[in-house]
Structure 1
Protein backbone atom coordinates (compact mmCIF):
# COMPACT_ATOMS: atom_id res chain seq x y z
CA UNK A 1 0.00 0.00 0.00
CA UNK A 2 1.30 3.50 -0.79
CA UNK A 3 2.25 5.84 2.05
CA UNK A 4 -0.34 8.62 1.97
CA UNK A 5 -0.35 11.89 3.88
CA UNK A 6 -3.74 12.76 5.43
CA UNK A 7 -5.62 15.13 3.13
CA UNK A 8 -5.93 17.92 5.72
CA UNK A 9 -2.13 17.97 6.13
CA UNK A 10 -1.39 18.41 2.43
CA UNK A 11 -0.17 21.89 1.46
CA UNK A 12 -2.51 23.54 -1.03
CA UNK A 13 -0.61 26.08 -3.11
CA UNK A 14 -2.59 25.83 -6.35
CA UNK A 15 -3.00 29.23 -8.01
CA UNK A 16 -3.71 30.73 -11.41
CA UNK A 17 -2.35 31.47 -13.87
CA UNK A 18 0.06 28.56 -13.52
CA UNK A 19 3.70 29.56 -14.02
CA UNK A 20 7.01 27.79 -13.63
CA UNK A 21 8.63 30.22 -11.21
CA UNK A 22 10.84 30.18 -8.08
CA UNK A 23 8.12 31.05 -5.57
CA UNK A 24 10.67 31.18 -2.74
CA UNK A 25 9.78 32.34 0.77
CA UNK A 26 12.29 32.99 3.52
CA UNK A 27 12.11 30.78 6.59
CA UNK A 28 12.36 33.17 9.51
CA UNK A 29 13.26 32.34 13.10
CA UNK A 30 9.83 32.80 14.66
CA UNK A 31 7.62 30.47 16.74
CA UNK A 32 4.91 30.36 14.06
CA UNK A 33 7.28 30.17 11.09
CA UNK A 34 7.21 27.13 8.79
CA UNK A 35 9.86 24.56 9.79
CA UNK A 36 12.87 23.50 7.77
CA UNK A 37 11.92 19.84 8.24
CA UNK A 38 8.55 18.12 8.59
CA UNK A 39 8.51 15.00 10.74
CA UNK A 40 5.20 13.26 11.41
CA UNK A 41 3.65 9.92 12.31
CA UNK A 42 4.60 8.48 8.91
CA UNK A 43 8.36 8.60 9.62
CA UNK A 44 8.59 4.82 9.97
CA UNK A 45 6.72 4.23 6.72
CA UNK A 46 8.99 6.66 4.89
CA UNK A 47 12.06 4.83 6.21
CA UNK A 48 10.68 1.51 4.97
CA UNK A 49 9.86 3.00 1.55
CA UNK A 50 13.36 4.47 1.28
CA UNK A 51 14.94 1.14 2.16
CA UNK A 52 12.94 -0.57 -0.59
CA UNK A 53 13.96 2.06 -3.15
CA UNK A 54 17.63 1.77 -2.20
CA UNK A 55 17.49 -2.00 -2.62
CA UNK A 56 15.95 -1.62 -6.07
CA UNK A 57 17.88 1.36 -7.44
CA UNK A 58 20.99 1.90 -5.28
CA UNK A 59 23.36 4.26 -7.13
CA UNK A 60 20.53 5.74 -9.19
CA UNK A 61 19.16 7.49 -6.09
CA UNK A 62 22.28 7.72 -3.89
CA UNK A 63 25.13 9.36 -5.78
CA UNK A 64 28.35 11.17 -4.90
CA UNK A 65 30.11 11.59 -1.57
CA UNK A 66 28.87 13.24 1.61
CA UNK A 67 31.58 14.84 3.74
CA UNK A 68 31.46 14.21 7.51
CA UNK A 69 31.31 17.92 8.36
CA UNK A 70 28.26 18.38 6.13
CA UNK A 71 26.45 15.31 7.46
CA UNK A 72 27.12 16.53 11.01
CA UNK A 73 25.72 19.96 10.16
CA UNK A 74 22.55 18.40 8.73
CA UNK A 75 22.13 16.11 11.75
CA UNK A 76 22.60 19.09 14.09
CA UNK A 77 20.01 21.19 12.25
CA UNK A 78 17.57 18.28 12.28
CA UNK A 79 17.96 17.66 16.00
CA UNK A 80 17.70 21.37 16.82
CA UNK A 81 14.32 21.63 15.11
CA UNK A 82 12.69 18.22 15.55
CA UNK A 83 14.33 17.00 18.77
CA UNK A 84 15.25 13.75 17.00
CA UNK A 85 18.95 12.90 17.02
CA UNK A 86 20.17 11.04 13.98
CA UNK A 87 23.57 9.54 13.38
CA UNK A 88 25.84 11.81 11.34
CA UNK A 89 26.31 9.32 8.50
CA UNK A 90 24.72 9.28 5.03
CA UNK A 91 22.84 6.10 5.90
CA UNK A 92 21.43 7.48 9.16
CA UNK A 93 20.31 10.71 7.50
CA UNK A 94 18.75 9.00 4.49
CA UNK A 95 16.72 6.57 6.59
CA UNK A 96 16.02 8.91 9.51
CA UNK A 97 14.68 11.95 7.65
CA UNK A 98 11.49 11.95 5.63
CA UNK A 99 13.17 14.49 3.38
CA UNK A 100 15.38 13.60 0.45
CA UNK A 101 18.37 15.92 0.10
CA UNK A 102 21.00 17.24 -2.28
CA UNK A 103 24.34 18.80 -1.27
CA UNK A 104 25.85 21.53 -3.43
CA UNK A 105 29.49 22.65 -3.29
CA UNK A 106 30.31 26.34 -3.71
CA UNK A 107 33.07 26.23 -6.34
CA UNK A 108 34.80 28.91 -8.44
CA UNK A 109 32.46 28.16 -11.35
CA UNK A 110 29.38 28.23 -9.10
CA UNK A 111 27.42 25.81 -6.96
CA UNK A 112 27.24 22.23 -8.20
CA UNK A 113 25.64 19.08 -6.88
CA UNK A 114 28.19 16.73 -5.31
CA UNK A 115 25.90 14.41 -3.33
CA UNK A 116 22.32 13.32 -3.91
CA UNK A 117 20.12 11.14 -1.69
CA UNK A 118 16.82 11.28 -3.57
CA UNK A 119 14.73 8.16 -3.04
CA UNK A 120 11.47 9.79 -4.14
CA UNK A 121 12.16 11.65 -7.42
CA UNK A 122 9.26 13.00 -9.48
CA UNK A 123 10.00 11.30 -12.81
CA UNK A 124 13.72 12.11 -13.01
CA UNK A 125 16.91 10.16 -12.42
CA UNK A 126 18.96 11.64 -9.54
CA UNK A 127 22.20 10.08 -10.77
CA UNK A 128 21.98 12.18 -13.94
CA UNK A 129 22.05 15.41 -11.88
CA UNK A 130 25.38 14.77 -10.14
CA UNK A 131 27.92 17.51 -10.89
CA UNK A 132 25.42 19.93 -12.45
CA UNK A 133 24.70 23.55 -11.61
CA UNK A 134 21.26 25.15 -11.24
CA UNK A 135 20.93 26.10 -14.91
CA UNK A 136 21.84 22.62 -16.15
CA UNK A 137 19.51 20.91 -13.66
CA UNK A 138 16.54 22.99 -14.79
CA UNK A 139 17.34 22.99 -18.51
CA UNK A 140 14.75 20.25 -19.31
CA UNK A 141 11.95 22.06 -17.44
CA UNK A 142 9.25 23.51 -19.68
CA UNK A 143 8.73 27.29 -19.65
CA UNK A 144 11.82 27.69 -17.50
CA UNK A 145 12.67 31.28 -18.49
CA UNK A 146 11.76 32.74 -15.08
CA UNK A 147 13.78 30.08 -13.29
CA UNK A 148 16.79 30.49 -15.52
CA UNK A 149 16.69 34.28 -15.50
CA UNK A 150 16.81 34.31 -11.73
CA UNK A 151 19.28 31.43 -11.35
CA UNK A 152 22.16 33.45 -9.91
CA UNK A 153 19.99 35.29 -7.39
CA UNK A 154 18.11 32.13 -6.40
CA UNK A 155 21.31 30.20 -5.70
CA UNK A 156 22.92 33.08 -3.82
CA UNK A 157 19.86 33.73 -1.66
CA UNK A 158 18.82 30.13 -0.93
CA UNK A 159 22.19 28.42 -0.56
CA UNK A 160 24.49 31.17 0.72
CA UNK A 161 22.29 33.53 2.71
CA UNK A 162 19.09 32.15 4.24
CA UNK A 163 16.89 29.06 4.44
CA UNK A 164 14.05 29.23 1.93
CA UNK A 165 10.80 27.38 1.25
CA UNK A 166 8.82 26.64 -1.89
CA UNK A 167 6.14 24.12 -2.91
CA UNK A 168 5.74 22.32 -6.21
CA UNK A 169 2.48 20.44 -6.84
CA UNK A 170 1.76 17.79 -9.43
CA UNK A 171 -1.01 15.45 -10.49
CA UNK A 172 0.15 11.87 -10.90
CA UNK A 173 -1.54 8.63 -11.97
CA UNK A 174 0.19 6.69 -9.18
CA UNK A 175 0.41 7.27 -5.44
CA UNK A 176 3.84 5.75 -4.82
CA UNK A 177 6.38 8.13 -3.28
CA UNK A 178 9.11 7.06 -5.70
CA UNK A 179 8.36 8.18 -9.24
CA UNK A 180 11.72 7.18 -10.72
CA UNK A 181 11.24 6.99 -14.51
CA UNK A 182 12.50 3.42 -14.68
CA UNK A 183 10.39 1.99 -11.86
CA UNK A 184 7.11 3.93 -11.93
CA UNK A 185 4.31 1.46 -11.28
CA UNK A 186 1.37 3.34 -12.78
CA UNK A 187 1.33 5.62 -15.81
CA UNK A 188 -1.45 7.75 -17.26
CA UNK A 189 -2.53 5.06 -19.69
CA UNK A 190 -2.95 2.71 -16.71
CA UNK A 191 -5.08 5.30 -14.88
CA UNK A 192 -7.27 5.71 -17.95
CA UNK A 193 -7.79 1.96 -18.15
CA UNK A 194 -8.60 1.77 -14.43
CA UNK A 195 -11.12 4.60 -14.81
CA UNK A 196 -12.83 2.68 -17.58
CA UNK A 197 -13.14 -0.35 -15.33
CA UNK A 198 -14.34 1.58 -12.26
CA UNK A 199 -18.02 1.93 -11.39
CA UNK A 200 -17.77 5.74 -11.35
CA UNK A 201 -15.97 5.86 -14.68
CA UNK A 202 -14.10 8.94 -13.46
CA UNK A 203 -10.41 9.45 -14.14
CA UNK A 204 -10.21 11.90 -11.24
CA UNK A 205 -10.76 9.04 -8.80
CA UNK A 206 -7.52 7.42 -10.00
CA UNK A 207 -5.39 10.58 -9.68
CA UNK A 208 -3.08 11.51 -6.82
CA UNK A 209 -2.10 14.99 -5.63
CA UNK A 210 1.66 15.16 -5.09
CA UNK A 211 3.52 17.99 -3.37
CA UNK A 212 7.25 18.58 -3.11
CA UNK A 213 7.96 20.75 -0.09
CA UNK A 214 11.41 22.15 -0.89
CA UNK A 215 13.64 23.88 1.67
CA UNK A 216 17.26 24.98 1.75
CA UNK A 217 20.01 25.12 4.37
CA UNK A 218 23.00 27.38 3.63
CA UNK A 219 26.30 26.26 5.17
CA UNK A 220 28.53 29.19 4.15
CA UNK A 221 31.39 28.37 6.53
CA UNK A 222 31.68 24.98 4.80
CA UNK A 223 31.06 26.49 1.34
CA UNK A 224 28.12 24.13 0.99
CA UNK A 225 24.36 24.35 0.63
CA UNK A 226 21.72 21.68 1.16
CA UNK A 227 18.45 21.28 -0.72
CA UNK A 228 15.73 19.23 1.01
CA UNK A 229 12.72 17.68 -0.75
CA UNK A 230 9.83 16.40 1.35
CA UNK A 231 7.40 14.51 -0.88
CA UNK A 232 3.77 14.15 0.21
CA UNK A 233 1.06 12.27 -1.67
CA UNK A 234 -2.70 11.95 -1.19
CA UNK A 235 -5.67 10.93 -3.32
CA UNK A 236 -6.78 13.99 -5.27
CA UNK A 237 -10.48 13.63 -4.45
CA UNK A 238 -9.65 13.64 -0.74
CA UNK A 239 -7.60 16.83 -1.03
CA UNK A 240 -10.33 18.54 -3.05
CA UNK A 241 -12.87 17.69 -0.35
CA UNK A 242 -10.94 19.47 2.41
CA UNK A 243 -12.26 22.92 1.45
CA UNK A 244 -14.96 24.18 -0.94
CA UNK A 245 -13.74 25.73 -4.16
CA UNK A 246 -10.62 23.64 -4.61
CA UNK A 247 -11.92 21.82 -7.69
CA UNK A 248 -12.53 25.17 -9.41
CA UNK A 249 -9.09 26.46 -8.38
CA UNK A 250 -7.39 23.36 -9.76
CA UNK A 251 -9.41 23.49 -12.96
CA UNK A 252 -8.36 27.09 -13.55
CA UNK A 253 -4.71 26.25 -12.90
CA UNK A 254 -4.80 23.28 -15.29
CA UNK A 255 -6.56 25.34 -17.92
CA UNK A 256 -3.90 28.07 -17.67
CA UNK A 257 -0.96 25.68 -18.17
CA UNK A 258 0.83 26.11 -21.46
CA UNK A 259 0.95 23.15 -23.84
CA UNK A 260 4.69 22.91 -23.16
CA UNK A 261 4.09 22.40 -19.43
CA UNK A 262 1.30 19.91 -20.04
CA UNK A 263 3.56 17.83 -22.29
CA UNK A 264 6.48 18.15 -19.86
CA UNK A 265 4.29 16.73 -17.12
CA UNK A 266 3.02 13.98 -19.39
CA UNK A 267 -0.61 15.09 -19.15
CA UNK A 268 -1.39 15.90 -22.78
CA UNK A 269 -3.69 12.86 -23.12
CA UNK A 270 -5.68 13.53 -19.93
CA UNK A 271 -5.93 17.28 -19.36
CA UNK A 272 -9.20 17.84 -21.23
CA UNK A 273 -10.87 14.95 -19.43
CA UNK A 274 -9.67 16.19 -16.05
CA UNK A 275 -10.95 19.68 -16.85
CA UNK A 276 -14.41 18.26 -17.61
CA UNK A 277 -14.50 16.16 -14.47
CA UNK A 278 -13.33 19.05 -12.28
CA UNK A 279 -16.03 21.28 -13.80
CA UNK A 280 -18.62 18.66 -12.91
CA UNK A 281 -17.55 18.87 -9.26
CA UNK A 282 -18.51 22.55 -9.21
Structure 2
Protein backbone atom coordinates (compact mmCIF):
# COMPACT_ATOMS: atom_id res chain seq x y z
CA UNK A 1 0.00 0.00 0.00
CA UNK A 2 1.43 3.39 -1.00
CA UNK A 3 0.54 6.89 0.14
CA UNK A 4 -2.48 8.43 -1.53
CA UNK A 5 -3.44 12.06 -1.93
CA UNK A 6 -6.55 12.42 0.23
CA UNK A 7 -7.49 12.15 3.89
CA UNK A 8 -9.28 8.83 3.41
CA UNK A 9 -6.33 7.39 1.49
CA UNK A 10 -3.73 8.61 4.01
CA UNK A 11 -5.36 7.74 7.33
CA UNK A 12 -4.79 3.96 7.09
CA UNK A 13 -1.04 4.65 6.81
CA UNK A 14 -0.90 7.11 9.72
CA UNK A 15 0.02 6.17 13.27
CA UNK A 16 -3.07 5.80 15.40
CA UNK A 17 -1.51 6.28 18.80
CA UNK A 18 0.99 4.73 21.16
CA UNK A 19 4.76 5.10 20.74
CA UNK A 20 6.02 7.54 18.15
CA UNK A 21 7.45 6.09 14.94
CA UNK A 22 8.53 7.46 11.59
CA UNK A 23 6.31 5.04 9.65
CA UNK A 24 8.16 5.53 6.37
CA UNK A 25 7.03 4.21 2.99
CA UNK A 26 9.37 3.97 -0.01
CA UNK A 27 7.93 5.96 -2.92
CA UNK A 28 8.63 5.93 -6.63
CA UNK A 29 9.33 9.13 -8.53
CA UNK A 30 5.77 9.09 -9.86
CA UNK A 31 4.40 8.92 -6.31
CA UNK A 32 6.51 11.78 -5.00
CA UNK A 33 4.26 14.84 -5.50
CA UNK A 34 0.61 15.45 -6.31
CA UNK A 35 0.26 15.60 -10.09
CA UNK A 36 -2.59 18.13 -10.36
CA UNK A 37 -1.82 21.06 -8.03
CA UNK A 38 -4.20 24.00 -7.78
CA UNK A 39 -1.65 26.66 -8.69
CA UNK A 40 -4.09 29.53 -8.13
CA UNK A 41 -4.66 28.36 -4.54
CA UNK A 42 -0.91 28.04 -4.02
CA UNK A 43 -0.23 31.55 -5.28
CA UNK A 44 -3.05 32.99 -3.19
CA UNK A 45 -1.78 31.13 -0.15
CA UNK A 46 1.58 32.86 -0.29
CA UNK A 47 0.00 36.24 -1.05
CA UNK A 48 -2.20 35.89 2.02
CA UNK A 49 0.63 34.70 4.26
CA UNK A 50 4.01 36.00 3.00
CA UNK A 51 5.73 35.20 6.29
CA UNK A 52 5.49 31.54 5.28
CA UNK A 53 8.60 32.07 3.15
CA UNK A 54 11.77 32.15 5.24
CA UNK A 55 15.05 31.72 3.38
CA UNK A 56 18.64 31.76 4.67
CA UNK A 57 21.59 32.32 2.30
CA UNK A 58 22.49 28.62 2.54
CA UNK A 59 19.19 27.73 0.87
CA UNK A 60 19.92 29.43 -2.43
CA UNK A 61 21.96 26.67 -4.12
CA UNK A 62 19.74 23.75 -3.07
CA UNK A 63 16.66 25.81 -3.92
CA UNK A 64 17.93 26.33 -7.45
CA UNK A 65 18.82 22.67 -7.73
CA UNK A 66 15.25 21.84 -6.73
CA UNK A 67 13.62 24.12 -9.28
CA UNK A 68 15.83 22.62 -11.99
CA UNK A 69 14.57 19.16 -10.98
CA UNK A 70 10.99 20.41 -11.24
CA UNK A 71 11.50 22.21 -14.54
CA UNK A 72 10.75 25.69 -13.26
CA UNK A 73 12.86 28.80 -12.76
CA UNK A 74 13.86 30.36 -9.47
CA UNK A 75 14.61 28.88 -6.07
CA UNK A 76 12.70 27.38 -3.13
CA UNK A 77 9.71 29.79 -3.16
CA UNK A 78 9.12 29.18 -6.87
CA UNK A 79 9.34 25.41 -6.33
CA UNK A 80 6.59 25.59 -3.70
CA UNK A 81 4.47 27.81 -5.95
CA UNK A 82 4.65 25.18 -8.71
CA UNK A 83 3.50 22.27 -6.50
CA UNK A 84 0.70 21.34 -4.12
CA UNK A 85 3.25 20.74 -1.40
CA UNK A 86 4.88 23.16 1.03
CA UNK A 87 8.65 22.69 0.99
CA UNK A 88 11.50 22.91 3.49
CA UNK A 89 15.26 22.47 3.06
CA UNK A 90 17.64 21.11 5.69
CA UNK A 91 21.43 20.83 5.66
CA UNK A 92 24.18 19.87 8.09
CA UNK A 93 27.33 21.96 8.22
CA UNK A 94 30.66 20.12 8.49
CA UNK A 95 31.14 21.36 12.06
CA UNK A 96 27.56 20.60 13.15
CA UNK A 97 26.04 17.41 14.55
CA UNK A 98 22.45 17.99 13.44
CA UNK A 99 20.54 18.99 10.34
CA UNK A 100 19.09 22.49 10.48
CA UNK A 101 16.19 24.18 8.71
CA UNK A 102 17.72 26.59 6.18
CA UNK A 103 14.68 27.39 4.07
CA UNK A 104 10.90 27.12 4.22
CA UNK A 105 8.17 27.95 1.72
CA UNK A 106 4.97 27.15 3.61
CA UNK A 107 1.54 28.41 2.54
CA UNK A 108 -0.55 25.99 4.60
CA UNK A 109 1.11 25.38 8.00
CA UNK A 110 -0.24 23.02 10.63
CA UNK A 111 -0.08 25.50 13.52
CA UNK A 112 3.56 26.56 13.20
CA UNK A 113 5.45 29.65 12.08
CA UNK A 114 8.54 29.19 9.85
CA UNK A 115 10.02 32.46 11.12
CA UNK A 116 10.24 30.87 14.58
CA UNK A 117 11.88 27.70 13.26
CA UNK A 118 14.40 28.85 10.65
CA UNK A 119 17.96 27.95 11.63
CA UNK A 120 16.92 25.49 14.33
CA UNK A 121 18.31 21.94 14.48
CA UNK A 122 15.99 18.95 14.11
CA UNK A 123 15.59 18.22 17.79
CA UNK A 124 14.64 21.81 18.57
CA UNK A 125 12.24 21.83 15.62
CA UNK A 126 10.42 18.85 17.10
CA UNK A 127 10.64 19.91 20.75
CA UNK A 128 6.87 20.56 21.06
CA UNK A 129 6.15 16.92 20.17
CA UNK A 130 5.83 14.92 23.38
CA UNK A 131 8.03 11.82 23.31
CA UNK A 132 10.13 12.90 20.31
CA UNK A 133 13.43 13.14 22.16
CA UNK A 134 13.05 9.78 23.92
CA UNK A 135 11.30 7.72 21.25
CA UNK A 136 12.22 9.11 17.84
CA UNK A 137 15.13 11.57 17.78
CA UNK A 138 17.94 9.03 17.43
CA UNK A 139 16.17 7.16 14.65
CA UNK A 140 15.42 10.36 12.73
CA UNK A 141 19.04 11.52 13.04
CA UNK A 142 20.26 8.16 11.72
CA UNK A 143 17.80 8.25 8.83
CA UNK A 144 18.89 11.74 7.80
CA UNK A 145 22.55 10.73 7.86
CA UNK A 146 22.05 7.63 5.72
CA UNK A 147 19.46 8.92 3.21
CA UNK A 148 20.84 8.43 -0.31
CA UNK A 149 20.12 10.56 -3.39
CA UNK A 150 17.43 8.98 -5.55
CA UNK A 151 15.55 7.39 -2.65
CA UNK A 152 12.21 8.96 -1.74
CA UNK A 153 10.37 8.20 1.49
CA UNK A 154 6.96 9.30 2.64
CA UNK A 155 4.89 9.28 5.78
CA UNK A 156 1.66 10.84 7.00
CA UNK A 157 -0.05 11.97 10.19
CA UNK A 158 -3.36 13.39 11.33
CA UNK A 159 -4.72 16.22 13.43
CA UNK A 160 -8.21 17.29 14.41
CA UNK A 161 -8.93 20.97 13.85
CA UNK A 162 -11.95 23.21 14.31
CA UNK A 163 -11.46 24.73 10.88
CA UNK A 164 -11.39 23.38 7.35
CA UNK A 165 -8.93 26.04 6.18
CA UNK A 166 -5.71 24.64 4.76
CA UNK A 167 -3.75 27.29 6.66
CA UNK A 168 -4.27 26.30 10.28
CA UNK A 169 -2.96 28.72 12.89
CA UNK A 170 -4.92 27.86 16.01
CA UNK A 171 -6.30 30.85 17.88
CA UNK A 172 -7.37 30.81 21.51
CA UNK A 173 -7.24 28.00 24.03
CA UNK A 174 -8.15 24.45 23.14
CA UNK A 175 -11.41 24.46 25.05
CA UNK A 176 -12.35 27.71 23.33
CA UNK A 177 -11.52 26.35 19.85
CA UNK A 178 -13.76 23.30 20.26
CA UNK A 179 -16.42 24.80 22.56
CA UNK A 180 -19.08 24.68 19.83
CA UNK A 181 -18.53 20.99 19.01
CA UNK A 182 -20.99 18.33 20.13
CA UNK A 183 -21.58 14.72 19.16
CA UNK A 184 -24.54 15.94 17.11
CA UNK A 185 -22.60 18.46 14.99
CA UNK A 186 -19.13 16.89 15.03
CA UNK A 187 -19.47 15.61 11.47
CA UNK A 188 -19.55 19.19 10.23
CA UNK A 189 -17.69 20.99 13.03
CA UNK A 190 -14.57 18.80 13.28
CA UNK A 191 -12.04 18.60 10.47
CA UNK A 192 -9.47 15.88 9.90
CA UNK A 193 -6.16 17.27 8.69
CA UNK A 194 -3.49 15.00 7.24
CA UNK A 195 0.04 15.92 6.21
CA UNK A 196 1.53 13.80 3.42
CA UNK A 197 5.24 14.27 4.07
CA UNK A 198 8.15 13.19 1.86
CA UNK A 199 11.92 13.25 2.28
CA UNK A 200 14.64 13.02 -0.36
CA UNK A 201 18.25 14.13 -0.67
CA UNK A 202 19.16 16.47 -3.52
CA UNK A 203 22.05 14.83 -5.39
CA UNK A 204 24.22 17.88 -6.12
CA UNK A 205 24.05 19.98 -2.95
CA UNK A 206 23.27 17.12 -0.57
CA UNK A 207 20.49 19.12 1.08
CA UNK A 208 17.43 17.21 2.27
CA UNK A 209 14.07 18.31 0.92
CA UNK A 210 11.07 17.87 3.19
CA UNK A 211 7.68 18.32 1.50
CA UNK A 212 4.32 18.66 3.23
CA UNK A 213 1.11 18.08 1.29
CA UNK A 214 -1.97 19.25 3.20
CA UNK A 215 -5.34 17.48 2.92
CA UNK A 216 -8.40 18.49 4.97
CA UNK A 217 -11.89 16.98 5.14
CA UNK A 218 -14.82 17.32 7.56
CA UNK A 219 -15.22 14.37 9.89
CA UNK A 220 -18.39 13.32 8.06
CA UNK A 221 -16.34 12.69 4.87
CA UNK A 222 -14.42 9.79 6.44
CA UNK A 223 -15.33 6.30 5.40
CA UNK A 224 -16.62 3.98 8.13
CA UNK A 225 -13.29 2.20 8.66
CA UNK A 226 -11.33 5.42 9.05
CA UNK A 227 -13.92 6.92 11.38
CA UNK A 228 -13.80 3.88 13.63
CA UNK A 229 -9.99 3.86 13.66
CA UNK A 230 -9.80 7.56 14.45
CA UNK A 231 -12.25 7.26 17.32
CA UNK A 232 -10.06 4.51 18.80
CA UNK A 233 -6.87 6.49 18.23
CA UNK A 234 -7.86 9.59 20.18
CA UNK A 235 -7.74 7.53 23.37
CA UNK A 236 -4.33 5.97 22.75
CA UNK A 237 -2.06 8.97 22.18
CA UNK A 238 0.90 9.21 24.53
CA UNK A 239 0.52 11.51 27.51
CA UNK A 240 1.56 15.04 26.58
CA UNK A 241 0.91 14.45 22.88
CA UNK A 242 -2.76 14.12 23.75
CA UNK A 243 -2.67 17.51 25.47
CA UNK A 244 -0.79 19.15 22.58
CA UNK A 245 -3.36 17.94 20.07
CA UNK A 246 -6.25 19.08 22.24
CA UNK A 247 -7.79 15.61 22.41
CA UNK A 248 -9.55 16.30 25.67
CA UNK A 249 -11.45 19.19 24.09
CA UNK A 250 -13.04 17.15 21.30
CA UNK A 251 -12.69 13.44 22.11
CA UNK A 252 -16.12 13.00 23.67
CA UNK A 253 -17.84 14.64 20.72
CA UNK A 254 -15.84 12.70 18.14
CA UNK A 255 -16.38 9.34 19.81
CA UNK A 256 -20.07 10.10 20.33
CA UNK A 257 -20.47 10.97 16.67
CA UNK A 258 -18.65 7.79 15.61
CA UNK A 259 -20.87 5.67 17.87
CA UNK A 260 -24.01 7.08 16.26
CA UNK A 261 -22.67 6.48 12.75
CA UNK A 262 -21.79 2.88 13.58
CA UNK A 263 -25.32 2.03 14.67
* Shorter-normalised TM range: 0.7 to 0.9
Other structure's SS at 1:263 match: helix
- TM-score of the superposed pair, with normalisation by structure 2: 0.83
State whether structure 2 residue 195 is matched by structure 1 residue 209: no
The structural deviation recorded for 1:159 is 6.8
Deviations 1:201-238 (A, max 9, x none): 42332011111111112024313111111111111211
State whether structure 2 residue 34 is matched by structure 1 residue 38: yes
The equivalent residue for 2:176 is 189
Q: 2:62 aligns with which of 63, 70, 78?
A: 70
The structural deviation recorded for 1:17 is 4.3
Deviations 1:69-100 (A, max 9, x none): 3223212332xxxxxx4222344223222211
Distance 1:148 1:8 in 2: 27
The equivalent residue for 1:99 is 85
Other structure's SS at 1:102 match: strand
The equivalent residue for 2:108 is 120
State whether structure 2 residue 248 is matched by structure 1 residue 268: yes
The equivalent residue for 1:226 is 209
Say whether the 8 Å CA contact 1:218–1:225 is kept in structure 2: yes
Q: Which stretch of structure 1 is more off in the superposition, 215-224 or 9-18?
A: 9-18
Distance 1:119 1:163 in 2: 23
The structural deviation recorded for 1:114 is 1.2
State whether structure 2 residue 147 is matched by structure 1 residue 147: no
Say whether the 8 Å CA contact 2:66–2:76 is kept in structure 1: no
The structural deviation recorded for 1:120 is 1.6
Say whether the 8 Å CA contact 1:160–1:220 is kept in structure 2: yes
Distance 1:165 1:128, change over 3 A: same
Distance 2:55 2:65 in 1: 19
Distance 1:186 1:67, change over 3 A: same
The structural deviation recorded for 1:27 is 2.2
Say whether the 8 Å CA contact 1:47–1:98 is kept in structure 2: no
Root mean square deviation, CA, Å: 2.8
Say whether the 8 Å CA contact 2:7–2:216 is kept in structure 1: no
Say whether the 8 Å CA contact 2:106–2:114 is kept in structure 1: yes
The structural deviation recorded for 1:18 is 4.1
Other structure's SS at 2:249 match: coil
Say whether the 8 Å CA contact 2:15–2:23 is kept in structure 1: no
Distance 1:230 1:7, change over 3 A: closer
Say whether the 8 Å CA contact 1:158–1:164 is kept in structure 2: no
Distance 1:90 1:247, change over 3 A: closer
State whether structure 2 residue 245 is matched by structure 1 residue 253: no
- TM-score of the superposed pair, with normalisation by structure 1: 0.78
Distance 1:71 1:8 in 2: 29
